[in-house]
Structure 1
Amino acid sequence: MSIDIDPLREADGIAVTDHIENTQFEVYTDRPVDPRPRPRSDHYFPVDASAAVETGSIEISRVAVVETRAGDGTLLTHGDCYTMPDGTYHVGINPAPTKLYLSFDSGFAVSTTDRTTRIDLDAPGTVGLGFRSLHQTPAGTITTPTDPESLMDAVSLLGSALQTTSPERSFPTLRGHPPLIEPGEEFRVPERVEPVDSGVRIVVPPEYRYLYPVVSLAYYFAAAVVPGDAPRIEGDGWTYPLEPGFEARTAQVLRQSFHLDCLARTEGFYPVDLHERETTDLDLDWERLYDLPLAERLGEYLDVPFEAVEPELPQWTLTTDVRPDPENVEMLPFVARELSIVRSPESVTPVDDDEGVGVGFLGTPDRSAPAAETEPAGGPDALDRGDFVRGGSGAGVARGADPAVERGAVPAQTEFVRPEPVDTVEHAWVGDGVPLDANKATLDAYHRRLEAGQVEQSRISVLVVCNDDQMREEGNVADLYGLRDMVQFDIEVRHDLSREGMRETLESDVDFLHYIGHVDDRGMQCADSYLDLTDEDLEIGVSAFLLNACQSYQQGEALVHRGSRGGIVTLSDVANSPATKLGRIIARLMNSGFNLRTALHVAKRELITGHQYIVVGDGGTTICQSRSGVAVVFNVEKRSEDEFDLSADFYPNGHHKSGSLATLNTDIIGYNYYVPSLVDCESISKSELLDLMEKELIPVFYDGELAWSGSITID
């Protein structure tokens, strides 16, 4: 069992220890208690551990919201100060270090102070307490030989992290982090990693190129993965082939089953008005599907032709290419955790083998970059950051190296690869090579995501470093941070740092570094010399970064290897004006709670030069949470003087992963949507639109151009 419940020794109440999250907290009572086991099924929501105590009150040392449901699960009310009459209740307290649920038969009162939340029963009695691990960290690490058949046994245990096999596992809070995988000579499984018998089997040939693409399915279906000739999914009495088009079919199965689970779950714990449920053209018995075991439900889902479901599906968030190599096995739990579509390309196109076709912005000595992007015409707004010249008229302002240093747009030792295009919002790459237009994901960065844990902080530290006087215009990005009133930002701007000053900066505990300056093969330029992060032995404290300088990939990669979670870097020389504009966009998006990958995706909609940038490390890194939880982008088009069409893209983000519920905070939208989703609202009035945009600082594409809700002019 992952959670222990023990009486307190020096106070009245119990101590709750979550061995997965390594957390402990105390629940106080008004008298000494001796917790006794209670069936977990007594609670309305799934729990990992359950106990009963005799008490007249329950108190925790947190300010929380208390959600009250009737005995049948109907939501009655929620808040931090209210009373309820006699009755049978299921009560949830959030937030707490674990999910905390109470069940009892009594009237009660909820009260809070500036530090505590308390529930007082009208009469002392039996209170059932249920606890479920938030399970944001793995329960343990599976050691396995890396041959495909041994690895199948490990992948078969990824679903052990699911809190339920019902359709509610489409909620992110009911999908724990899969156990980690590491190579070893013998197969060993930690005690707390227990298999879930879902009745689903995935049969694939024992080859990496077949095994890797099914890891998200194995996790989400808690499926056993076994060797066989013809790729297929099996349940009791049914078989679904995964060929022809193996990778495409695995993606279809993931998207279709997840969508239908989100629709079916409205028959369960949360009978909300879900837009996707109300608008579906599928004629299915949702109540019956909800009650079926997972394997039977999945079989009926897959009886529905994908062509019938596809028009209803939102754009999926992430595709990850995992090269079919044994050294990539440790990445699989992280990829599955994100419910990523997975491809495993056996071959990939090196950029230097495409005879210069479509290389885009990567100019080399033999290959010129498009003039409109990296060699713009004259004028101070079109200067290239690839030619570093101080003084004079400023016509040589750049973010690169001295032209006397012979070099191409990328270091000769760097192998650039061109992955196949994706249909998803985001794209990650696992394996050798630097991918064009994709997140170069690294194992050390994902491990740092776990080390970061659930850090609670009220202030976000942002450091803007400008190491060139002629680029001080972009240094004004500091003004774009800290515009939100819910999160306080500590913002500092530093100019012309020395080499030692840059070392100290990189080693400091900073949430986000925005670097503006020059980078070349010698490293990051400082006032007195260069600091090469690929050679220096540094302990990096910076969590996330934007290195807005020419060819900053290698320096950014070194930052990740030495301690950062992730950042945005350039693959080529970048022109000064668009680089400045992109830096400002990224600054505001990170300030608004976007993660690195989604922020760059939005920036690319505005600037084609955004394709010169990629994310390195953990692309899911954020520096703060958006006010609404999910990352939101508005798209507005004018119909008439007082009528507009509005659509809103909801992107998974932070704790609000795929399957979360979201809606627009306006009376004109009466439904919830599951994330990711696109919310359409036609013919909204100007006053309604302005009122909606005043609620939060968000990016708005108005007639195709990017603006911000706090400063946009709608006319």
Structure 2
Amino acid sequence: MVGGRPRTRPTACDRRLGRGGGDGAQTPAGTPPSPTTRLGDRTGADAPAEGTVRLPDAPHLLRVEGAAVVIVRFDGTATLTDAGGAPTISFPERRRVTVAVADRADRPETVTVPRTPEGVATALSAMPAGHLTATADRSLPEMRAQPPRVEFGEEVSVPDSVVARRPDPSVVLELPPSLDYLVPAASLAHYLGAEVRVADDEDASPTLRTASLEHEFDSNPGYQTGVACLLRRTFLLDCLVRGAGPNCRGVAETALLDEVDLDAESLYRADPGDRLDAYLDVPFEEISGRLPDWHLSMYVSATYDQVRSLPHLLQNVPNVFLPEAKPLGTDERLSRSLDDFYRADAAADDSADDHAREAEASRAETGDVPEVTPVKPVLGAGRVHGWLADGVPIDVFKSTHRASNTGLATPRTRSRCRWSPSSTTSGWWTSTTTPPRYTSRGRPASTST
């Protein structure tokens, strides 16, 4: 254990608003040195009256970052305040103002790293650049934008825009130099905004550190379960704490905080590392059974190719497990095939059925019939399960890196409908559609949206 609480560091937003004792250059009046003033919920910094900024007589471009990006262009003096997370701009007289709204779902930047464990750790450390806040509101889906994409190259290349948006980490994950540890840590590291480091010793214990705490995980396979449990604890307690914020997006179970002696008012804007310290210091197991089951678990092969798929998953805060499956027994395979047959839509289009039968007959004549061997995945906690690995699994949906990347390669002509894997409307998650259910024969079953 490391003694003492960390000193609160002024954030980039603090320095832009003239608060705190940071190193950022400021004029005596607290005016940001840049003609572009940024104000938003990315850092979740408190904004008392002393956060007022008086802008000088000059051209200004104001960028407000939230669920969407609002850009305001004007000339002349103005007063900018951030009262409790509600940015307000006022003018001494009438004037011309230009307002634009940008989609937060723009194509993300690309981080390039070597094809090594150290390179993957660097890429995972850049993923939190997609967060729009450091407060407990991070548990809201609109506060998590698309993380940077990952590609492999000879040298590390992280865009300046990613570096600028990456909040100072208050949590460090030090892991053995193996993808078997780095891949399962991806979602936890992303949500906590952690810096991921690779230990020198292959036998080193996977360890999480804050300024005042050190938490050691078991080695694999128990490591994956430990990471998933910590992610659930942190995320769900953030969901309870966020009701103390200005967005007032709490949940019915908020009263459970009193049972474990957590103060939402003090924790809401606390540093993520401080919130984690507090969450690990309470008996979460006493209230865990009254909180929702986890929404999504993904089973991802520990390969460099699948590391490129991780940014497409992290926005939904899934558990990430290494894939493990058992062969499907003959009796169970026959039973599931019969179930699928009787569940099939009897009203399917006749011409489509005829086409399928002709194609099957053609493959039989030529001998070009692919062999499909279903497997039964070993599943962790989760209401929905996804498979990013080889094999034909049952009871889960299967995806590929190519499918994940399709949306980014296609020009966007309309607003994107982002799937969040839960149909609940209680305030824990927001859902726009449901994922396809796959039968044991590997084709999508009918779904409603």
Q: TM-score range by the shorter chain?
A: 0.5 to 0.7
Match of 1:255 among 224, 228, 232: 232
CA apart distance, 1:434 = 2.3
Q: What SS does the aligned partner of 2:375 have?
A: strand
Distance in 1 separating the partners of 2:217 and 2:387 = 23
- Matching residue of 1:513: none
Deviation string for 1:160-181 (max 9, x for gaps)?
1212211122222221211100
- Matching residue of 2:51: none
CA apart distance, 1:355 = 4.6
Which structure's CA Rg is the greater one?
A: 1
Deviation string for 1:325-353 (max 9, x for gaps)?
222121111121221110013x533x4xx
Amino acid paired to 1:242: F
Distance in 2 separating the partners of 1:449 and 1:219 = 21
Q: Could you say if the C-alpha distance between residues 404 and 432 of structure 1 is closer, same or farther in structure 2, counting changes exceeding 3 Å? A: closer
- Matching residue of 1:159: 128
CA apart distance, 1:399 = 9.2
- Matching residue of 1:359: 333
Amino acid paired to 1:250: V
2:126 equivalent to 1:182? no
Distance in 1 separating the partners of 2:371 and 2:274 = 53
CA apart distance, 1:289 = 1.0
- Matching residue of 1:216: 187
Match of 1:170 among 136, 139, 142: 139
CA apart distance, 1:297 = 1.1
Distance in 2 separating the partners of 1:132 and 1:190 = 23
Unaligned runs of 5+ in 2: 1-11, 13-34, 38-56, 420-430
Distance in 1 separating the partners of 2:342 and 2:66 = 63
- Matching residue of 1:320: 298
CA apart distance, 1:224 = 0.7
2:173 equivalent to 1:202? yes
- Matching residue of 2:319: 341
The 8 Å contact of residues 139 and 192 in structure 1, kept in 2 or not, is answered as no
TM-score (norm 2): 0.68
Distance in 1 separating the partners of 2:269 and 2:123 = 29
Q: What SS does the aligned partner of 2:268 have?
A: helix
- Matching residue of 1:296: 274
2:414 equivalent to 1:440? no
- Matching residue of 1:240: 215
Q: What SS does the aligned partner of 1:156 have?
A: helix
Deviation string for 1:110-158 (max 9, x for gaps)?
xxxxxxxxxxxxx42798x998964324541111122212211111111
> Greater relative contact order: 1 or 2 (C-alpha under 8 angstroms, separation 6 or more)?
2
Q: What SS does the aligned partner of 1:427 have?
A: strand
Matches within 5 A, 1:142-541: 142-194=111-163, 195-228=166-199, 229-243=204-218, 245-272=222-249, 274-278=251-255, 280=257, 281-345=259-323, 347-349=324-326, 351=327, 354-360=328-334, 369-370=337-338, 374=341, 401-402=360-361, 405=364, 411-452=369-410, 455-456=413-414
Deviation string for 1:562-581 (max 9, x for gaps)?
xxx99xxxxxxxxxxxxxxx
Deviation string for 1:291-348 (max 9, x for gaps)?
3211111111122234124223212221111111222121111121221110013x53
Distance in 1 separating the partners of 2:157 and 2:314 = 20
Deviation string for 1:433-468 (max 9, x for gaps)?
2222222212222222224576438xxxxxxxxxxx
Q: Could you say if the C-alpha distance between residues 131 and 341 of structure 1 is closer, same or farther in structure 2, counting changes exceeding 3 Å? A: farther
Q: Percent identity?
A: 26
Distance in 2 separating the partners of 1:207 and 1:188 = 22
Distance in 1 separating the partners of 2:67 and 2:249 = 16
Distance in 1 separating the partners of 2:125 and 2:66 = 28
Structure with the higher helix share, 1 or 2: 2
- Matching residue of 2:59: 35
Distance in 1 separating the partners of 2:398 and 2:307 = 16
CA apart distance, 1:414 = 3.9
Match of 1:103 among 64, 72, 89: 89
Distance in 2 separating the partners of 1:322 and 1:44 = 31
Distance in 2 separating the partners of 1:132 and 1:382 = 46
Q: Could you say if the C-alpha distance between residues 185 and 414 of structure 1 is closer, same or farther in structure 2, counting changes exceeding 3 Å? A: farther
Q: Provide the aligned length of Structure 1 versus Structure 2.
A: 371
The 8 Å contact of residues 43 and 130 in structure 1, kept in 2 or not, is answered as no
Distance in 1 separating the partners of 2:362 and 2:410 = 41
The 8 Å contact of residues 69 and 103 in structure 2, kept in 1 or not, is answered as no
Q: Could you say if the C-alpha distance between residues 240 and 138 of structure 1 is closer, same or farther in structure 2, counting changes exceeding 3 Å? A: farther
Distance in 2 separating the partners of 1:611 and 1:43 = 44
Q: Could you say if the C-alpha distance between residues 207 and 104 of structure 1 is closer, same or farther in structure 2, counting changes exceeding 3 Å? A: same
The 8 Å contact of residues 67 and 104 in structure 2, kept in 1 or not, is answered as no
Distance in 2 separating the partners of 1:130 and 1:221 = 33
The 8 Å contact of residues 440 and 615 in structure 1, kept in 2 or not, is answered as no
Amino acid paired to 1:304: V
Deviation string for 1:374-432 (max 9, x for gaps)?
489xxx9799x9xx899xxxxxx979844994799x94444543321343222111122
CA apart distance, 1:184 = 1.4
The 8 Å contact of residues 385 and 397 in structure 2, kept in 1 or not, is answered as yes
Amino acid paired to 2:215: Y
Q: Could you say if the C-alpha distance between residues 240 and 412 of structure 1 is closer, same or farther in structure 2, counting changes exceeding 3 Å? A: same
The 8 Å contact of residues 200 and 221 in structure 1, kept in 2 or not, is answered as yes
Amino acid paired to 2:293: Q
Q: Could you say if the C-alpha distance between residues 306 and 272 of structure 1 is closer, same or farther in structure 2, counting changes exceeding 3 Å? A: closer
Matches within 5 A, 1:21-32: none
Distance in 2 separating the partners of 1:243 and 1:456 = 46
Q: What SS does the aligned partner of 2:94 have?
A: strand
Q: Could you say if the C-alpha distance between residues 381 and 235 of structure 1 is closer, same or farther in structure 2, counting changes exceeding 3 Å? A: closer
Unaligned runs of 5+ in 1: 2-13, 17-32, 57-69, 75-89, 91-100, 107-122, 363-368, 391-396, 458-542, 545-564, 567-592, 602-609, 617-621, 632-715
Q: Could you say if the C-alpha distance between residues 50 and 212 of structure 1 is closer, same or farther in structure 2, counting changes exceeding 3 Å? A: farther
Distance in 2 separating the partners of 1:241 and 1:130 = 49
Q: Could you say if the C-alpha distance between residues 381 and 54 of structure 1 is closer, same or farther in structure 2, counting changes exceeding 3 Å? A: closer
Q: Could you say if the C-alpha distance between residues 201 and 54 of structure 1 is closer, same or farther in structure 2, counting changes exceeding 3 Å? A: same
- Matching residue of 1:595: 433
Distance in 2 separating the partners of 1:247 and 1:329 = 16
Q: What SS does the aligned partner of 1:213 have?
A: coil
The 8 Å contact of residues 241 and 250 in structure 2, kept in 1 or not, is answered as no
Distance in 2 separating the partners of 1:50 and 1:263 = 34
- Root mean square deviation, CA, Å: 4.7
The 8 Å contact of residues 242 and 249 in structure 2, kept in 1 or not, is answered as no
Matches within 5 A, 1:658-669: none
Distance in 1 separating the partners of 2:65 and 2:187 = 29
Distance in 2 separating the partners of 1:330 and 1:146 = 11
Distance in 2 separating the partners of 1:266 and 1:191 = 34
The 8 Å contact of residues 312 and 404 in structure 2, kept in 1 or not, is answered as yes
CA apart distance, 1:614 = 4.9
Distance in 2 separating the partners of 1:261 and 1:131 = 32
